[in-house]
Every structure is written in structure tokens, then in C-alpha cells.
Structure 1
Amino acid sequence: MTLRQAQGRQGRPLRVAMIGYGFMGAAHSVGWRQAPRVFALPEAVEMAVVVGRNAEAVRDAAAQWGWQESATDWREVIARDDIDIVDIVTPGDSHAEIAIAALEAGKHVLCEKPLANTVEEAEAMADAASRAAARGVRSMVGFTYRRVPAVTFLRDLIAQGAVGTIAQVRAAYRQDWLVDPAMPLAWRLQKEHAGSGALGDIGAHIIDMTQFVTGLSVDAVSGVVDTIVTQRPLADAGPMSLAKGSGESTTGYGEVTVDDVAIFTGRLSTGALVSFEATRFATGRKNDLSIEVSGDKGALRFDLEDLNTLWFYDRTAPEATQGFTRILVTEAQHPYVGAWWPAGHMLGYEHGFSHQVVDLVTAIAEGTDPHPSFDEGLSVQRVLAAVEESSANDSAWVRISARQPANR
């Protein structure tokens, strides 16, 4: 594909502005950089500008990650005529303001998960996305784990009837980076910035993944959230580190205002039960996202710490040979894999961000709405809010009623 062919209808590449430059900024930058070089995208893309409040730090990030320039005012960047896509990787408290402004300015939007910090913010974002879609402006939420080839393939197998009627789902996301009580009070531990703790940060992923792979909605929940370490040291200068051994001195302590662990049960639209666990206190678990879907014909299991593998149990096979079978999801016919390496040459965490770019740019070029949509992000937000409501009411069951779209 030549550059002229790739530029498509616009006559120039789609130019991207990324707002934010932390951990997710690095991951998204890899996606924007790799996707055009590996996949035959229907339109070319350019990494135009990265935006952050610290001029020196964001300038360094631009140079390291391959952005053409840096800036400190996201409003000025969104107003520019040469920007087509706005990629939001800031903390959740700014998602709604930036996304709505970008959509109203006619920019396509990719927004990191969870969509917002509150249901009300997420509703406003979904309404803005619907209005923008009527003008051909696209929006998508960054639930990137959908785009791990094994997860997409798991979804495809369920849709083909591999497990039959779903009876039960078990989904968990376990990390251990907060076990040390000396870990400083980062923004992810402050409700005004993060919205919630383990529940929203990693619980959002397992809610979305459950709905994605089963094709069913979570209609009711019962659960509890808890904060294990209620105070943490304050970093006395600079950005608060999320990693041990940062070398930062601390002075005083601050309150942790979000949850460390969330354990809840969900009931799907068919009546099937799901068990959910989201924790940042699972000692020894670094990034353990797992899901197992059980049905009357079989079962499928996935674990992010072995992300090129699916396990499939075929209950219709002869009893003498029944057992979980390992499927190595590295063949060219598997989702996304054909553009990468020969069979057996593994993909990693970062590849999902390239696949995210592929799907967004393809939707923009084809004039279709990408998934997960802001409405799908809103559905997850409503489940998160229901879990918090349940926990505040002695784990009472909370039903999640459908919202009627407003002003769309």
C-alpha cells in the first residue's frame, strides 16, 4: 500500500493528539507507532502532538515516544484544524470535560477506561458521542484486553456455540502492587481523581470482558468493597510513583479514599451467575486477569499471564478423552495475528494497543461506529456504581436498569 493510497478520503494522514503521558501514554504511543507499520491501515496516521501540564516532562515524552511536538494546553490543541483524533489517557476526573469538548469540536475520540468517574459523567459523554456520531464523528473506549487475540477468539468460539448455554462465569483481576503499606499516595488512590480504586481501575476490565465474550449484560450485582491500607505516605515532590524503589522521600500521610479490593457477584441477562474479584492486594499476583466461562457443552478459560493461550474443555468429546485442551492462539487465522509473526512466535501486552488503533482507524475510514462504544463504557460505569451501592447497603442486590438515551 502506498502512502497516497493510505491517505484515503482526506488527502492527508489522520493526525493524532494524545492528552496525557503517563504509563498509558507510553502504551498508547506504542500502538500508534506500530500499527501503521505492521497493518495495512485504510488511512495513514501521524503522531502529531502529546499534551501534558509539565512542559519539560511532556517534551521529553514526545521525543522518547515519537510524537512530532508537545504542548501544555489541551483546549488549544483540540481547537486546531490539523488534529483529527484525540486520545485521552489522563486520570478519570478529566475524561468527561476533554472528551465532550473534543467531540463537539468534531474530533474522533479514543478514551481510556473506565469511561468516567461517575455515571452522570458517563451519561453526558455517551450523549455527546451519539450527537457527534450523527455528524460522522467516532468515539471508542480503551478496553484494550478485548483485543488480545486469545480473548477475541474466545468470544468468537462462544458465539459459535462452543460452550453451549452459559451456566456460570468466573472473572478476576488480581495485582499486588499495593501490598506494601509504604507505597506512596498516588492519584489512583484518591477518589477525586480516580473515581474508585481496584473496582474501577481493574474491575472495569473484567466487567467489560464478561459482557464482551458472553454477549450478555450484567443486570444485577451484590458485593463488597474494602480499603485495607487507609493511610499512605505523601510524596514530597514530583509525580507520585506507582513503582517500588522510586527513591522519593515522603513527609506525612494522606487518606486513601478508594477501595483496595472489590468482590462481587453478578447476574447476567439470562440469569446465569458471575463471580467477580478485583484486588490490588493479591500477594504474588502481578497482572493476573482471568476468565472462565462454563456451559452445558464445554468451557473456555483465559489468563492474561499466559496471554497467547486458551484452554478449551469439550464436554461433547468421548469421556475417555475429555479434558482441558491447550490452544496456542498464534496462527494466522486467529484474530489480528496474521499481520505479525509466524505461528508460535508470541505476542505481548503491547500488541493490544496496536490492534486498538487498527479497529479505530478502520471504523473512521469505513464510517462505522467502533466498539467498545461510549454506550458500552457507560454500561460498565453503571455496574461499578451498583457495586458501590450494594457494598454501602450490606451487600444487598442492586438491579441495573436500562437508561433511556437523552438529547441524542
Structure 2
Amino acid sequence: MSVLKVLIAGTGFAAEGHVAAFRAAGAEVVGIVGRTPDVLAQVAARHGISWSGTDWLTALEVCQPDIVSIATPGGAHAVPIRQALDHGCHVFCEKPLAPDAPTARALWDQARKAQVKTAFAASFRYTPGVRHAARLVAEGAIGHPTEVECVSHFNLERGIPFGWSHRAEEGGGRLANNFTHTLGIVEAVLGGRVTSVCGDLRDDLKRAPIVSGVHNFATRRAHIPDNLDDPDLEWGASNVEWSYSVLGRLRSPLASDSVSVLFRHGGLIPRFNKDYIAFYGDRGAIHLGGHYGSGPLNLHDGTGWREIDTPRDIAEAAQGISGETEQCWHHLAGLFVSDILGAGADPYPTFADGYHAQNIIDTLRAGTAWTTLDLPEGLA
């Protein structure tokens, strides 16, 4: 089988993770594109990438990639994806797929017309704990699923410099960057789809300091100003949610009725108890520690809770890869490359999943599920 050629868009944390993931999958990274020449040169040199440039169309012509890997903020995805699809490339894209559902739907439609493969990197569904939970649920360990809880509190610093994560049109917000993962986890474990939602969203940040020099999302904390009360600081306005409470109904072939799903996330709120994801059924329950299910797995079999070790085959698949995020990128990139080469692969998230997630996000942000109550006299 031929070696697939990959072109990377972006030079931050995700881009460097994608480089390693595709190389581990046996592909060749032939080029990288970024907007800041000095940063681009440093990243290309660090990873031994022979071609680098700041113009995407030129990169497509020069590198002639089989796959493009989009590792930029969500607001910058649509144009390079469209151009890559026009070149007949397969596309691996970070979440969110687009800043709004109509754009995400258009990208999905274009990819289908181009008859290429797509992957949507809401990839935390591939943590060992989540994969273990999916196996147990499929084997009937909890009976028919009835409800799910996803609870997390991140206590993010309010002084994180203003950037794409603060603006909906640039792919920011906790729904686009947290909910996309937990939605994927729940749907993967239960083998189903969320079909209806309602929820409450809150922007309890309002603003963030504008600071120069921020490039890599993973190191943004290093740029938090020492004095947030400095009268000379400039501020940018947030227009996205930093906390959300979402209730969904999920349809699954494993369930006898619709499954109730609670997605609770506080981006700026300190946690007291540990984050977790729990799956409940009519015969038992599974509790996964951690906001993305990477902690210990405990099973309730009707008599009591007990911790269950990760099966050897699942644990070994993640060995030698440092970092939970990186492990998940490696797994998804491996499936994607295998599928493109015709070697077979388990189902993985595609642009259809990206559109599905963004459709839910747009619905929640529109707030259309709210019903105003007629309060009795004296309670208004």
C-alpha cells in the first residue's frame, strides 16, 4: 500500500499533535502552513517538515497531499477545507467543524459530493476508560441504559488572554470545546444519537484582557497579566458560554426507551467532588472518573460498586504515547489512515458528527426550548 501524504494547517498544540499522530499511523507529513513566519519556521524545524509556507493554496499545489489536517481555531476551518475538498483531499479536522451549523452542513455536503473521507476530532471518545465502558455496555453489563450524567468543573483562570476561545464566530465557547467531546463520548458508549435538547447557558466571564504574544493555546496561561486591575489594560468582550447545563434525550438500540442525558459543565467554577461520567441502566451502572472518562472505571452490578481494570488490549493501545489528548489523536488518525487505504476500520466520527454537534450547539445558543410560565398571583 502507498504512503499517504499529509499537509498540516496550523502551528499550535493541535497541529504538533496531529503531526505525531499521522506519522505514527504510517503517513508522511509533507508540509505545514501557518500565518506567522517565525513560529512556522520553528515548528517545521522542530518536527523535520521539509516544506512550510503561509499560503494554503500554494501548499496544496506544491505538496499535493492525500490528506489535509486542519488544526486551527474553528472560525478558520471553512475556507481551507473547501479548497482542500476542491483538490480531492481527505480531511481530518479539529472541533468545532465550523462556528455555525449551516457552514458545518455545507462542508459535510461538499465532502460527500467530493466522495472523500472525513474525520472530526471530537476524539476523547478514545480514552481507554471510555472504550472500556463502551465494551461493557455492549456486553450488557448495565442492562438497558436509562440515563447518563456528565459533570465537570474546570475553574479556568479569568485572566486568560482574549482570543478565539472567547468568540463564537471563531469557534470559541465551552459547548464547542467541551460539550463536543462529552457528546461524542456518550453517543459512542451507547451507540446512539441525541435527538432533542434543552438547556441553560451562561457567560459568567464577560471580558478578557488583550495581550500580545499569545500563539500556542496550550501555553496561554503564561501570558496572564500580573495585575488585572491595571487601568492601562485593554479588554475584549466575550460572547460565548462559560458554563452550561444541558438535558438531552438519546435514542440507542441498546435502550428500551429514550435515555436521559445530563451535560453539566462549569468552566470557571471550582470543583469540590471529582469530575465524572456515569452510565445507568436497569441492571447496573458504570462510573468513569475524570471529565472525559480517563479516571478509574467502577461497575455496579446490582450488589455494590467495584473497580474494574482496563482490559489489556485497550491499555496496550495507549502505551508509549504521552498525554491523554495525544493518545486520542493517535487512535483516530490510525483509524482514518486505515480506512483511506482500504484496510478496514471501526466507525469513527466524521463531518456528519461535526454538523450534528454544531446543530445542537446552535439550538442551545438560540434558547428556543424555554417556556415562560404563568406564575400564580403573589409569586410573580
TM-score, length basis structure 2? 0.86
Contact 1:187 1:240 in 2 (8 A): no
1:151 counterpart residue number: 130
Residue 87 of structure 2 corresponds to residue 105 of structure 1? yes
- Long gaps (5+) in structure 1: 1-7, 37-43, 316-321, 397-408
Deviations 1:83-134 (A, max 9, x none): 111000111112122222212211111001122111101111111121122x
- Long gaps (5+) in structure 2: 227-231, 252-256, 373-380
Of residues 124, 128, 139, the one that matches 2:118 is 139
Bigger mean CA offset, 50-59 vs 73-82: 73-82
Q: Residues 128 and 229 of structure 1: is their aligned pair in 2 closer, same or farther, counting only changes over 3 Å?
A: same
Deviations 1:346-366 (A, max 9, x none): 974422221122111110111
CA distance in 2, matches of 1:368, 1:111: 20
Matches within 5 A, 1:146-225: 146-178=125-157, 180=158, 182-194=159-171, 196-225=172-201
Q: Residues 20 and 277 of structure 1: is their aligned pair in 2 closer, same or farther, counting only changes over 3 Å?
A: same
Of residues 16, 36, 47, the one that matches 1:26 is 16
CA distance in 2, matches of 1:183, 1:247: 5
Contact 1:309 1:326 in 2 (8 A): yes
Instruction: Write the letter of the residue equivalent to 2:207.
Output: Q
CA distance in 2, matches of 1:365, 1:67: 23
Give the match's secondary structure for 1:375.
helix
Deviations 1:206-244 (A, max 9, x none): 112111111121111111111112122111455486633
Contact 1:173 1:206 in 2 (8 A): no
Give the match's secondary structure for 1:235.
coil
2:105 counterpart residue number: 123
2:327 counterpart residue number: 351
2:362 counterpart residue number: 385
Instruction: Write the letter of the residue equivalent to 2:242.
Output: D
Residue 287 of structure 2 corresponds to residue 297 of structure 1? no
CA distance in 2, matches of 1:190, 1:150: 32
Deviations 1:169-224 (A, max 9, x none): 1013432223x3x3221221022212x41111111111121111111211111111
CA distance in 1, matches of 2:213, 2:63: 37
Residue 296 of structure 2 corresponds to residue 309 of structure 1? yes
1:273 counterpart residue number: 260
Contact 2:132 2:311 in 1 (8 A): no
CA distance in 1, matches of 2:322, 2:107: 37
Give the match's secondary structure for 2:30.
strand
Contact 1:171 1:290 in 2 (8 A): yes
Instruction: Write the letter of the residue equivalent to 1:278.
Output: H
CA distance in 1, matches of 2:86, 2:168: 27
Instruction: Write the letter of the residue equivalent to 1:18.
Output: I
Instruction: Write the letter of the residue equivalent to 2:191.
Output: G
2:55 counterpart residue number: 73
Q: Residues 273 and 395 of structure 1: is their aligned pair in 2 closer, same or farther, counting only changes over 3 Å?
A: farther
Contact 2:40 2:53 in 1 (8 A): yes
Residue 36 of structure 2 corresponds to residue 54 of structure 1? yes
Give the match's secondary structure for 1:245.
helix
1:255, CA displacement in angstroms?
A: 0.9
CA distance in 1, matches of 2:353, 2:224: 40
Q: Residues 108 and 368 of structure 1: is their aligned pair in 2 closer, same or farther, counting only changes over 3 Å?
A: farther
CA distance in 2, matches of 1:69, 1:310: 44
Instruction: Write the letter of the residue equivalent to 1:138.
Output: K
Residue 379 of structure 2 corresponds to residue 376 of structure 1? no
CA distance in 2, matches of 1:205, 1:339: 18
Bigger mean CA offset, 364-373 vs 78-87: 364-373
Q: Residues 363 and 290 of structure 1: is their aligned pair in 2 closer, same or farther, counting only changes over 3 Å?
A: farther
Contact 1:330 1:346 in 2 (8 A): no
CA distance in 2, matches of 1:271, 1:81: 48
Bigger mean CA offset, 232-241 vs 57-66: 232-241
Count of matched residue positions in the alignment of Structure 1 and Structure 2: 359
CA distance in 2, matches of 1:125, 1:223: 27
Contact 2:8 2:33 in 1 (8 A): yes
CA distance in 1, matches of 2:56, 2:188: 32
Matches within 5 A, 1:244-263: 244-246=221-223, 251-263=233-245
Contact 1:177 1:281 in 2 (8 A): yes
Q: Residues 54 and 337 of structure 1: is their aligned pair in 2 closer, same or farther, counting only changes over 3 Å?
A: same
Contact 1:223 1:395 in 2 (8 A): no
Give the match's secondary structure for 1:114.
coil
Give the match's secondary structure for 1:273.
strand
Identity of aligned residues (%): 26
Deviations 1:247-283 (A, max 9, x none): 6687311211111111111112242211111332132
